[in-house]
Chains A and B, each alone.
Chain A
Amino acid sequence: MAVRSASADFGGGERGARARRRGLSRNPAFVGCALFFALAALSFASLSTGSSGADFSLPFDILFGGEVGPSAELIFFQIRLPRLCVALIAGVSLSLAGATMQALFRNPLADPSVMGVSAGAALGAVVAMSFFGGALSLVSLQIGAVVFGLAATAFVCALGRGGTILSCLLGGIAVNALCGAVVGFFLYSAREAGLKSYIFWMLGSLDNADWNSIAHASLVSVPAWIAVMACARGLNALLLGWEQAYHSGVRVKLLWRACVAATSLMTAAAVSICGIIGFVGLVIPHIMRLWTGPDNRRLLPLSALAGALLMVGADLLSRAANPADPVPIGVITSLLGVPFFIFLLKFGKGEK
């Protein structure tokens, strides 16, 4: 009797079955395909346009061996393609780092800047830039970013040890503010180039893209991407709570350390090539979670795609506004993403 009355709550299972047959727009495979094609289209557009004007046949000519002038080829391989690569790497890294941290902290407010990684990495890059100029500057800058990023994370973790997740988050916010202030101080002291690089580090920019830094950054971030994707099921179990995750067979401490290290590495690598770009890591995972649910096996890859899409799209817009001197990309990502996010937050829940 008890069993029958209980299942009657759910209309004999009909409602559950209906809920399971989600609409096409929420089907993860469909969303993934849509994001992928949108990303491909925007990437194509990004390769076709630049300060020398738009030419949509250029990518085709280069791909299929058509007639291309040497200057067009130089622009394509030395300016547009590296710029696109930086946008892709940064978009994937930031959104994956955000999604992973939100699962790890079980808090939707977590993102790379909350752990202090972003500002720590920027500080490392700026410090390295001021002390090791010249030929070593690029490598030292990137090493500085990674080292300081990891150090900032380690410091925040040490602060939060024994405390709650909230104390960890608050510690991260404090470290973030401190590092940002020190970056400001360093760049303010270096008057001539100061303002330009302050904008680069604190608002993000794709203008400094070059193949060497892309190679170094991807060397660090691609293994980190693979690592967090491989942790997806463990992160899922962590959504049930740390204790329950342990009961379900997750080695919680190991998972925690691996994911924190991987997210710090990918964030620091992204910051080292394009500065701090806010918003992507916080809101892209949010949007994708509202869209297709909290299962990290879907959420992580879809967030990666969506993050790359947002970055490429924002870069296109920033260059469309002023091809010669693009608006800092962090400004555009926020302008683009926040209204969409607010819309989803306010109206997306009704259709669930």
Chain B
Amino acid sequence: MIEARCVCVNYGGLNALNNVSLTMCDGEFTAVLGANGAGKSTLLKVLTGFLRPSSGEVFFGGKPLREISARGLALRRSVLEQEAHSEFDCTVFEMLSFGGFARGGVFCAAPGEGGRICAALEKVGLSGAEGRKYSELSGGQKRRVQLARAIFQLEDGGDMAGKGLFLDEPSAGLDPSHAHCAMRAVGEMCARGVSVFAVLHDPNLALAYADKCLLLKGGEPFMFGRAEEVLTAQNLSEIYDSECEEVFTARGKFVVFPGKGALRRA
């Protein structure tokens, strides 16, 4: 279980996050939505331990985050950052294996890592890509390689319950089919007991995959609760400051943003 209590972050007098509290149970998918600059990525940085909050505290399995070592933390949570780049030309296999730092010894990786790397790549629809050069992949493929790396970091062949997967816009740059493929891979992790925390820009992905949803507006928590209750047209138009409509199909509820005064050819 991962818990944030009254987290505040100040960037030089600017309140980036104000009094955010949330609880993530094992196997729960929590999505966070908000306009650009609402503090989503800042919250993710605080939850992963990269940024120390100005006040408030994050607990990982009941233990304060700052009391857990970097290596201990790496064994229990992994992070997909918004952008990842490498100046040196790695293969996909190397890219993933570099993420397995915490499990290995001084010079050698943990045994059985090769198989886990291939399995993680298969989960994101990239089986057989391990020998490819990372720099030669398309943007969407790179994104999925990074997701595979985050998944691989958590796979130690044992129990996955109590671990956390933190994703900053996992579907960015992916076409709809691959976005769903990536989200399904994330959903599989949830089913195995991993708590997932994802910054999402597409409320429909949150409606389809998330259990809980946190809406942020200007660094303040706007609403936190079950995804289908939180993601209403009224709430969404409020946080994005843009007109929102609900659409119902045989597959359930979807939301669209028609846009005020959008130009449209008749």
Contact = CB atoms under 8 A, between A and B. Distances in A.
Interface of A: 1-3, 5-7, 9-20, 106-108, 229-230, 232-234, 236-237, 239-241, 243-251, 289, 293-295, 297, 352
Given A237-B99, A239-B90, A240-B99, A248 B107 contact: no
B104 A244 contact: no
B73 A18 contact: no
B131 A20 contact: yes
B29 interface: no
Interface of B: 48, 50, 69-75, 77-79, 81, 84-91, 93-95, 97-102, 104, 106-107, 109, 122, 124-133, 141, 144, 149, 153, 177-178, 180-181
Contacts of B91: 19, 293
A245 B101 CA distance: 9
A249 B75 contact: yes
B84 A250 contact: no
A176 to B, nearest CB: 22
B98 A6 contact: no
Contact of B84 (A233, A244, A289, A293): A244
Contacts of B94: 236, 293-295
B85 to A, nearest CB: 7
Contacts of B107: 229-230, 232-233, 297
A175 to B, nearest CB: 23
Contact of A251 (B70, B88, B149): B70
List 5 A-B pairs, minimum CB-CB distance, nearest first. Answer: A13-B128, A249-B74, A19-B131, A6-B125, A249-B102
A303 to B, nearest CB: 13
Nearest to A235: B98
Question: Which of the listed residues A232, A234, A243, A247 has the most CB atoms from chain B within 10 Å of its own CB?
Answer: A247
A18 B87 contact: no
7 contacts: A6-B144, A7-B126, A13-B128, A15-B131, A18-B131, A244-B79, A251-B71
Contact of A10 (B50, B126, B180): B126
Contact of B70 (A12, A233, A244, A246): A246
Given A6-B124, A249-B101, A250-B70, 11 more contacts: A3-B181, A6-B181, A10-B132, A19-B91, A229-B107, A230-B106, A237-B98, A244-B79, A247-B74, A251-B69, A294-B90
B73 A249 contact: yes
Contacts of B50: 243, 246-247
Given A108-B88, A248-B153, A2 B130 contact: no
A248 B127 contact: no
A11 B180 CA distance: 22
A239 B178 contact: no
A237 B84 CA distance: 12
A7 B128 contact: yes
A244 B81 contact: yes
Given A236-B101, A247-B48, A247-B74, A241 B126 contact: no
Contact of B131 (A1, A6, A16, A232): A16
A232 B109 CA distance: 11
Contacts of B48: 247
A240 B86 contact: yes
A239 B86 contact: yes
Nearest to A296: B98
A298 to B, nearest CB: 10
A42 to B, nearest CB: 28
Nearest to B94: A295
Contacts of B101: 233-234, 236-237, 245, 248-250
Contacts of A17: 128, 131
Contacts of A3: 122, 125, 181
A2 B85 CA distance: 25
Contacts of A243: 50, 81
Given A233-B104, A236-B98, A243-B50, A249 B71 contact: yes
A241 B128 CA distance: 25
A209 B90 CA distance: 40
A36 to B, nearest CB: 19
Question: Which of the listed residues B87, B97, B122 has the most CB atoms from chain A within 10 Å of its own CB?
Answer: B87
A7 B127 contact: yes
Nearest to B90: A294
A6 B147 CA distance: 15
Contacts of A20: 93, 130-131
A19 B136 CA distance: 13
A248 B102 contact: yes
A248 B99 contact: yes
Question: Which of the listed residues A3, A17, A241 has the most CB atoms from chain B within 10 Å of its own CB?
Answer: A3
A17 B102 CA distance: 27
A209 B101 CA distance: 41
B84 A2 contact: no
A241 B85 contact: yes
Contacts of A1: 177
A8 B133 CA distance: 17
A295 B95 CA distance: 9
A293 B88 CA distance: 9
A311 B185 CA distance: 51
Contact of A2 (B72, B75, B180): B180
A240 B128 contact: no
A310 B89 CA distance: 24
Contacts of A240: 84, 86, 95, 98-99, 149
Nearest to B176: A2
Contacts of A5: 125, 177
